[in-house]
Each structure stands twice: as structure tokens, then as C-alpha cells.
Amino acid sequence: MINKHGGVCSAKGFRASGIHCGIRKNRDKKDLSLIYSEVPAAAAAVYTTNLVKGAPLTVTKQNLKNGTAQAVICNSGNANTCNSNGIEIAEGMCQLTAKALGISAKDVIVASTGVIGQPLDIAPIAAGMDELAKGLRRSGNRDAAEGIMTTDTKLKEAAVEFELDGKPCRIGGMAKGSGMIHPNMATMLVFITSDVAISPKMLRKALAGDVADTFNMISVDGDTSTNDMVSVMANGMAGNALIDAEGPAFDTFKEALNAVTVKLCRMIAADGEGATKLLECKVTGAKDVNTARTVARSVICSSLLKAAMFGADANWGRVLCAIGYSGANVDVDKIDVSFRSGAGTIEVCKHGAGVAFSEAKAKKILTKPEIEILVELNSGSAAATARGCDLTYDYVKINGDYRT
């Protein structure tokens, strides 16, 4: 499997663009993005579990009932959530996109991200649609990725190339997400494209299976957003034999999809609002996968542990504490804990009790930008990884005046 550039435009037949249309006050920030497939594509999506959902999710879910899509339209600066005319606006965005591209409005995935509860004016979107459509190009992935950013500080793109039936195939993606990230469905938006020929049913199965160990294992701040969505379109232009059942080809597709989603997950977690460090809690030796996931998520969600990591404090008791209230059925007397980074590894807990360790070495390990919290439960063979970031002063500053 080869890492590639190009994000959502890496796969054959996909073009993208992004512009500033006027939703956001800052003209230097793009606020409208478009992804287009030259041919109709199999499509699937997963959505936030929050009972308060953005109108675009409702419209997208309806549009994807037939398992087909050909374009994605997404704005930033306004979430189009909790608005009395939200559905009308979301459907209007689909209609504008369809008219500009000459496709059906039912073949459009629509998304919005930004402030909740503020009316979204469709006028700037309508005014900018011609420019957006005319700007579609194979090198437009960066503009599109910029157009969906809110408090993100970095672009988030990934792509891989692999083979099926001797044909080169690609999967690419882009994401936005920095705050309001928490399982289930890490505001997070992810758009994935592929030129693989795969049935909508198998595409849904691949995505649903992948999300459980990737996007549903991220937490930045414990807030599950109203607009989270991960969508994927696969247009079949690679020319491989259609994947319509499980088997080696489906396994290869899932592996490639996971390579892209894991990269995007790491980017989202590392770019958490105010974050200075990427945290990964790797749990091994669990009696089953659910136990491993529960423990990993609990540790990565602990505000006290996140604060300790910000201060490079090897306060391993906070790891044990988070495991203890996680609800997982574990034997505390069997738990081992270590911290690892590019500066080395240090064991801090053995069989549920502290061990002597060098505070100086621990501090050196925990000052690195990527830190692994290794938890061995010594009760089985299941494993899981959760991702997050440290909790800093800047998180409060960013969210203290996010709306104003």
C-alpha cells in the first residue's frame, strides 16, 4: 500500500473546489466546498448519535437511501442546526449543486459546520455556486479541505494506492475537526472518495465496521457534536471487479480504508483545540474488544489525565482512576501502565501498584508531541486504541468566545 497526495482528488474521476462565498466574515477564509464525481458513485455515511442533529444530516440520510451519490456540498461558518428552516436550506443547497453540475439533487451529500442556532442565509451560497462549480479541478483538494475548516489549525488530508485485480485503486479523504469531538462520531466532518467498484451494501458494511475503531475512538473535549458525519463515495472508475460480497478483495478495501481513516483520526486528535500533544491510549490484554474500547476511551477522555499530559506529569494514578470508573469489568490487580514517546518508554505501574521510576526520564518522555499511554490488562488477547489530546489553557480561551 502506497501513501499518496491529493486527498479527495487522488481517486480517478473526482474533482474538488473551495471558495469564500460570504458566510464567514473573514474574506481570507474559504467557507464553501464542493466534491464531484464524474459518474454516479456508490455512497454510504454514518452520523452523530446526538439527538439534536443538524438539518444537513437529515437531508443527506434521505438522499443516500438508494446508496448513490455524485457530489458533496459543504459550508463552514454556520452549522444549520436548530433552525426552523434548516431542512429547506439544506435541500436548497442540494438543488443549487444539482443545477450547477447537471445531476439530481437526490445525488448530493450536504453538510454544514460552525455555530449552532444561527440562521443560514442561502443567498451567498447561491451567488457563489457558479464560481464553485467552475473551479472544480483535480488539484482542487486543498481548496476544498480549507473550505470546511472552523477552529482547525491544520489541513487534514490522506490518500493511499493499492491493487485489486491488477488494477491500481485509490482511496482519499479530507476531514475537519478540532473541538466538539467525542465518541460516538467524534464538530467533525469526514469526506472519503474512492475509484473502487463496490456495491453500496458492502461499502456501508466497510464504513460501519471501520468507524467503530477509528472515529468513534477519538475524544478531544467530551462533547458529541450535532453535525458529525463521515461519508464515502466509490465510483468504480478503477475498473476492478465489483466487490459485492466478503472475500480477499473486500478485505483489501477495508485495509486501505482503515489506513486513510487512521491517518485522519490522528490529525483530528493532534489538532484538538488548544492542543500541544497527540495522545494515544493503547489497551492490550483485554478479555474482549468491548472491554478494551471502554478502557481506552475512558483514559483518553479523562480531563485530569489530559491536564497531566499537558504538564508532562507522569501521574499514572489518573490512568488507573479512569479505568476504575469506566464501567469495564477488569481485574485492577493485573493492570500494567507505561508511557512511551520518541524519547523512550517508562513503566510506572505493575499489577495495579506503583513502581519506582525516574521522574526526570518520565518528564523527558512526556514533553514530546506524541505520547502513547500503554495499558496492559493481562486478562486476554483483545486490544483497542483511543486517540485524543492534552487539555491546555488555550482550549478555554478558544471556546470562551467561539460565537462572539
Q: Which residues are catalytic?
A: 187
Instruction: Compute the residue count for the chain.
Output: 404
Sort residue 160 into left (φ over 0), alpha (ψ -120 to 50) or beta.
beta
What is the number of other CB atoms lying within 10 angstroms of the CB of residue 102?
Answer: 8
What is the 3 state secondary structure string of 260-282? HHHHHHHHHHHCCCCCCCEEEEE
334 phi-psi bin (left φ>0, alpha ψ -120 to 50, beta other): alpha
Residue with cell 442565509: 121
Count Cβ neighbours within 10 Å for each residue of 11-23 and write b for 16 or more, e otherwise. bbbbbbbbbbbbb
3-state SS class at 358: coil
Backbone region of residue 311 per phi and psi (left: phi > 0; alpha: psi in -120 to 50; beta: other values):
alpha
Identity of the amino acid at 143: D
Return d(Cα 73, Cα 303) in angstroms, integer.
35
Give the whole-angstrom CA distance, residue 109 versus residue 319: 40
Residue 179 and residue 167 in contact, taking contact as beta carbons nearer than 8 Å: no
| Separation of alpha carbons 195 and 214, rounded Å | 22
**AA identity, residue 266:** R
User: What gap in Å lies between CA 76 and CA 189, rounded to an integer?
Assistant: 11
Instruction: Report whether 366 contacts 309 (CB < 8 A).
Output: yes
With contact defined as beta carbons under 8 Å apart, do 242 and 199 qualify? yes
Helix, strand, coil share of the chain (percent; to 5): 35, 30, 35
